[in-house]
Structure 1
């Protein structure tokens, strides 16, 4: 049904922590879908909630005009999240709400290239169009990157100081930080 909705501008997936895409081997239709992506040329906003495996889901979708991605209530390894975000260069707004990085790794890391891997090219994930980063209800140990200053300064540092970037963070209410 979705492949016929090419004019969609906003799409929300909420699988209640179950993903039918994980069982594609037992369903011939899903197997066919695995080999053919669904193209959404006008999709601007994508919300993914309570989904156990977003890389599978994003692998099925092609949304070249995606501007806003909302990820809510997910547990994901940091390297998998970086990989998913790296495929979205047109993204202007990223909202992470109640995201747990399973390996406690940082969301942003230095990107290197070269034979010895010692020349820094930027940051991974590379989000050159990002203007707004929203972080809500994240765990107390959520790491954006190597923190040396206040968080808002580090967000700017790790994104190589884009012209326009706003960030909002709301700490979790169960924070162990006595200053909150």
Structure 2
């Protein structure tokens, strides 16, 4: 009978060993979670920094257009990960991207614009990726994207027609 009791109750050394193992696993779990939290914070900081660039930079200057083009590209790459889409949308990027669906006003009409249509097309592409969820689609529509998208399509078609006319005249 006494032998049976020994088998039913783990010895003190076994309990300590099990407790140490559980403590070690908990510590590892906590370390993983804290590194995940740090990664999430780094990602959130980067997203907010890129949003700030897009929001504050709206000019025809080549350096500004290049900076915005780069930020839009970063968002398009990040948005390909569905787990990050909510973070991007919650950062307030949608109205900024909608704003960049049109070229910034320029005083010089005849001068070609740096990165002509690239920022606008990149913004449209990124909005398309972000529109994976119906609530994001509605946010994009509410931000006024549709008229700008239609105008962008018309500008693209007109540019193609004018180029075709130049080659066939």
Q: Using CA pairs below 8 Å that are at least 6 residues apart, which structure has the higher relative contact order?
A: 2
TM-score in terms of structure 1 length: 0.27
Q: Larger helix proportion, structure 1 or 2?
A: 2
Task: Determine which structure has more spread, i.e. the larger CA radius of gyration.
Answer: 2
TM-score in terms of structure 2 length: 0.29
Q: Larger strand proportion, structure 1 or 2?
A: 1
